Amino acid sequence: MTHGTSPLIGLMAASMALTAGTFNAHAACPLELAVYGDAESEAGIDFRPTGESAVVTNTFKMVLDNSVVLDGIVMWTEGVARPHGSLMYKCPTGDVTGDELAACTVWEGVVYSSDDQGKIALLPAEGVDAPKTLIFPDLGPSLQMSAAYGENGFSKVPWDVFALKGCQE
């Protein structure tokens, strides 16, 4: 045996350093500037600062293939508090009725997050470090049944899980 550490210990140390470096790069990103991606469809999520809204806790855009952009918001529900997310496609602007909003909403549901250890939690509001992973239950099937999918829309259906890719400047 030669002098120095064993190859296994060196490999483990390098792996831990790489993991720590990756975690530290992502840990400094606040959720409102986080960028997420889906490995299966190349769909992406860019969070944006929400501003002074009393109801909306998170704002984001989901970009799909063929330059299809969905507008997303998260509002916490009353009673049993949950981060209720909505994705909208080509909604009218201005004074919009509930029926008009329902007609352009392509996905709704609770948004979950996961950390490096796989612990599942609810999506936090702005002002905290971005979680490693976001989970949008039944996103793919909902989007595939929407007006945004098909001949004049996107063609690659994203999965329900998005991983943290980086941070906007």
Paired tokens of 151: 């001949």
Q: Which residues pair with 164 in a beta bridge?
A: 36
pLDDT of residue 17: 37
Task: Summarize pLDDT for 58-98 with one digit per residue, the tens.
Answer: 999 999 999 999 999 999 998 999 999 999 999 988 888 88
Note the pTM of the prediction, 2 decimals: 0.79
Classify burial at 74, counting beta carbons within 10 Å of its beta carbon; exposed 0-12, middle 13-18, buried 19 or more.
Answer: buried
Q: Determine contact, residues 113/149, Cβ cutoff 8 Å.
A: no
User: What is the dihedral sign for C-alpha 100, 102, 103, 107?
Assistant: positive
Task: Summarize pLDDT for 134-159 with one digit per residue, the tens.
Answer: 999 999 999 999 999 998 899 999 99
Paired tokens of 51: 């501003």
Q: What are φ and ψ of residue 11, in 5° steps?
A: -65, -45
Q: What are φ and ψ of residue 35, in 5° steps?
A: -125, 130
Separation between Cα atoms, residue 159 and residue 106, nearest integer Å = 15
Separation between Cα atoms, residue 30 and residue 45, nearest integer Å = 14
Print the SS3 string covering 66-118: HHCEEEEEEEECCCCCCEEEEEECCCCCCCCCHHHHHHHEEEEEECEEECCCC
Separation between Cα atoms, residue 13 and residue 38, nearest integer Å = 29
Place 14 in a pLDDT band, splitting at 50, 70 and 90. Answer: very low
